[in-house]
Structure 1
Amino acid sequence: MKIEIKAPAFPESVADGEVSLWHKQEGDFVQRDELLVEIETDKVVMEVVAPEAGRLDRIHVSEGSTIESETLLAEITPGEGEAAAPATEPAETSAEAAGDLPMGPAARQLVEEHGLDPSAISGSGKGGRINKEDVLAHLAAKTTAAAPAPASASSPASTQAAATGSNDVQGPTSERIERRVPMTRMRARIAERLLSATQQTAMLTTFNEVDMAPLMKLRSQYKEQFEKTHNGTRLGFMGFFVRACCEGLKRYPEVNASIDGNDVVYHGYQDIGVAVSTEDGLVVPVLRDADFMSIADVEAAIRDFGLKARDKKLTIEEMTGGTFTVSNGGVFGSLLSTPILNPPQTAILGMHAIKERPVAVNGEVVIRPMMYLALSYDHRLIDGKTAVQFLVTVKELLEDPSRILLQL
């Protein structure tokens, strides 16, 4: 009896997905919980594993195909593959000897068309798998390497120059290589949402600056003790920023609200999205009920999100929802920017790099570690006065961290 392998049930916020990579081919034996295929959605890459050990008899959808929720992907015949392994071993060995390295269908077609040696191509996929882009890059490298060769031989231009005694001959120029690759679904979705946010909201940004000296002093004083007490969790600045934002959102509920048609939805909780950069683009996992989280809880959760984002293990549930977002462009050196809203949220806070600047304190010019803060908000719901008051509240809490603990 065959076992049907189906795509996971997508949530309502995800309409469809794309089969990005098959890790197994028809006829391969797989073990229970072994990775079969990756499905890329607008938000995350979902992995489908084998429910039982057996042979992968048939693949119903190829790489690059668009699928919907619970689409039939493949069929497996249950059974252990160890007994059949010795019989197939000689064929596999001969295939490896012939240079039959793991590669996608499109990559294999290009290799055959151009008569390439797969062993000379560096695979960037998992387990050294060769993708179409790897083959194109290999071809481009070969073209670039071969380009100077004709130039070293006698050409009509050089012959003419020798005959006329002229040295005014322009030498060969390097080729202008271009590489065209399809945009990933995640990148395309990010582009679509950002464009929609700028076109369908009355977005405005207000700025302020915060003296980071008190926070830096507090962090320097307690970071080692904090890390020992909280099982290796490091004390950063994001925990203080998230807690300060939660206090500000309680005082100014419009900043924590969203617009749904002609209605305004006021959220009685603070789910804070934290922007995390990955190779595929910016993702925003959400800290649920952040107002009930301690600074240590926030730091631990953000570290976990960062590791999951790097390994593409974030789930759709972890990235769904959110009532407010904090984005830290300062880690990349950004001094000042205007963050774009993350609909249906109506506000987002942008953090920036800490720079020492001369500022006036009690009538004297002193050098302080300063950070610019930027609050982008939807002016349809949030008035400028409210936005400024919220940002000033966050500034005051950060410049006197004890107020965060005392909720003052």
Structure 2
Amino acid sequence: MTTFDVFAVGCGGGPYEDNLSSYFVKARDALWKDGIVAIEAGSGLGALRRLLKTRPEVFSLPTETDTSHKLAPAEVYSWIRSYLISHPHLDHLSGLVLSAGSTASTSTPVYGTQHTLETIADIFSGKIWPALASWTDEPGKPLRLSRLSPEDGYVSIADSLSVRTMVVSHGPSSPTSSSSEHPPYESSAFFLRHDPSARELLFFGDVEPDALSTHPQNRDVWRTAAPKIPDVLSALFIECSWPDGRPDEQLYGHLSPAHLTEELCNLAREVVASRARSRVTSGDESSSSSDSERPSIRRRKRLRRSDSDVQDIDVRGALSGLRVYIIHCKDDLQETYESPIHEVIAGQVRTLVDDRGLGAEIVAVEQGMLISI
């Protein structure tokens, strides 16, 4: 069953400004004009203008036969009902800033963590950009800052769509200093849920590998995702900024194919452990009450054994049914590769994932791609 439509307005990691993180999302059974959730807002009106020339059919009505009406990018942008921002770096935010006040006729909520929203508020302070955002509905302010917290659980952000936010680490806040000198920069992972079907997708903002982090938080996200894979959650959007061969100290809070593969192995271990726990629980429920040892005691013993042996779990095939969408690939400034950099990086990830036998399908996201999930 197809649940979501995702359109990649931009999917790159910079520094070319014409293809930056920006995704339009809607429920499959809804129309784009009825409301878009914009996950990230790096590329904006300019990129959309170019894409509408090559893919005008994406936002047309299914029954529309009159092709004389050409959609303007500002018209499509006016359909955005909410923004979901993982962290306030400019390559995830510039489109929102530049378009503020130009397209929205009503106050549009911008969802993010407190850290993210406070930084966005600084941008709209009147010094960097006009004061067009507020924490409440104010006349003349087209953007309303709406805080998300991991403690909130699922929060409704549009008709039939809710989000659960988890905090992840994006490396030291200063690229010239070690993580021990500067705390990790905060980013977010979003579980986006289609409420009628309860199906979800998982979207990561920029993120560093747990193996290099002084404050590793990815495992918590994987542990949350594991019981949902693949029946509830079958799509993962995650960055892989650099190709293999780049030194760890030059990743700057991002993933490479080797580190992403290890993160996927961690997810696979959590999936296997979660399924083992489910089998234990099911077995206990069907056990005879005449057993010499109480079911609750047996369950605790087995769960402890599963958790302690998680690194030794056989993960082959554990991610079958999961499609991993590779995003945020840094532009190949020196034009080292003959193929586009997103294809190079996704190919490297695919080889490593296949070598591990994880079973996940690896997809390179391209700008202008319409993804049905």
Provide the TM-score with structure 1 as the length reference: 0.21
Provide the TM-score with structure 2 as the length reference: 0.23
Greater relative contact order (Cα < 8 A, sep 6+): 2
The structure carrying a bigger helix percent of its residues is 1
